[in-house]
Homo-oligomer: A and B are copies of this chain.
Amino acid sequence: MRLFISRGELLRRRAAALTEATRRGCDGLVLFGPTPIFYLTGFAFIATERPIALTVTAAETVLFVPRLEEEHAAEYAAADRVVAYPEYPADRHPMLRLAELLTAMGAARMRLAVDGDGYPGIMGYRGPRLSEVLPGASVSLARDLIEDMMMVKSEEELALIRESCRWGHLAHQLLADYTAPGEIESEVSQRASADATKAMVRALGPTYRPLSWTAPGARAGFRGQVGKASAIAHAMTNNLRIQRGDVLVTGAAAAVGGYTSELERTMIVAPISAEQRRFFNLMVGAQDAAFDAIRPGRPCSEVDRAVRAFFERYDLMPYWRHHVGHALGVGIHEAPFLDIGDATEMRPGMVFSVEPGIYVHGFAGFRHSDTIVVTERGFEMLTYYPRDLASLVIDR
């Protein structure tokens, strides 16, 4: 069992990226973002104040890293060469060293497609633009180049996302098993995450690599959406104590070879009020409206439009807070978006979260999120957790 992207696929991606750069009139790519670098090399790393840059030309692919990542990159990255610089800021700025490397690679006068004109300002980093240190090159912003490639997932990617769904499911089931009145949200969450990760690590064995900085395995939790705070779509945890009658909005996922998935559910701690039941069922109806609108060849906007029509029909617009969903895979959010403003055509292999939410301020929030893949004929659910209220009531 291989739970990471094969070298063959990484090399195909690299070739495709270069072909697209060429089509756009460029001779090569210089990428600074951790996500595009991971996508083309398989190298997952902690992005810090120390720049990392991937250069792809027809002649070679070179990963430029700080000294502390040299052996790590050499072990994991599909690149022809890893070139290390000492440190940031050090006695010579890494961007000047990158310019030297690019010059030695014959790229000093190339037309370069880049995901940013220099390294972004992460963790206190400051530095010149690439176009400043390499004035003879022509630098053209093409953040969309890799993002567009990432939109349609391959079979290998789908396999990792499916694996992520499996263990996110377990974490969520344990979360539901452990949730009870009187429990503190973080404790339930940490217990479920630990037990699911324990099972996952034992089930998958040493072939399993999370390739994630933040997650050693599976996780599930509430992130603060407990009781009235469930109405805050992006709450932060306050370690609230769960009470009878609370609405809980959950989230679960697992890191598998650098890929993720998204499973969210609205659970209600008994007794359930009529008003809670009504909003819960409307939320499920909104999600059904979204599912009904997913079809290859249609624009992403139509899914959001269908859900907004549902909201209008049931007088829910005062409770509307966000679009229906987003692509995901390497990132927890990726483009395109299931949003009235996104005309991108849904294509087979695109993976989306589908998660319209109803948020009644001062009362409760209601949101399920499922991960789906668009298929030739419609879509397939990758998450498979029950969505009905009877399955999601906590009654103990």
Interface flag for A190 (CB, 8 Å): yes
Q: How many copies are assembled?
A: 2
Q: Mark A201-234, 1 if CB is under 8 A from B, else 0.
A: 1000010111111101100010100000001111
Contacts of A214 in B (CB 8 A): 214
Is the pair B208, A341 in contact by a Cβ cutoff of 8 Å? no
Known contacts A331-B124, A332-B123, A337 near B89 by CB under 8 Å: yes
Is the pair A216, B186 in contact by a Cβ cutoff of 8 Å? yes
Q: Mark A24-59, 1 if CB is under 8 A from B, else 0.
A: 000000000100000000001110110000000000
Contacts of A342 in B (CB 8 A): 89
Is the pair B88, A339 in contact by a Cβ cutoff of 8 Å? yes
Contacts of A287 in B (CB 8 A): none
Known contacts A214-B214, A234-B46, A341 near B123 by CB under 8 Å: no
Contacts of A191 in B (CB 8 A): 194
Looking at the complex, which of A104-112, A277-285, A320-328 is the stretch in contact with chain B? A320-328
Is the pair A361, B71 in contact by a Cβ cutoff of 8 Å? yes
Is the pair B341, A91 in contact by a Cβ cutoff of 8 Å? yes
Chain B min CB distance to A41 (Å): 14
Interface flag for A16 (CB, 8 Å): no
Is the pair A239, B322 in contact by a Cβ cutoff of 8 Å? no
Partner of A209, one of B87, B187, B211, B238: B238
Is the pair B234, A72 in contact by a Cβ cutoff of 8 Å? yes
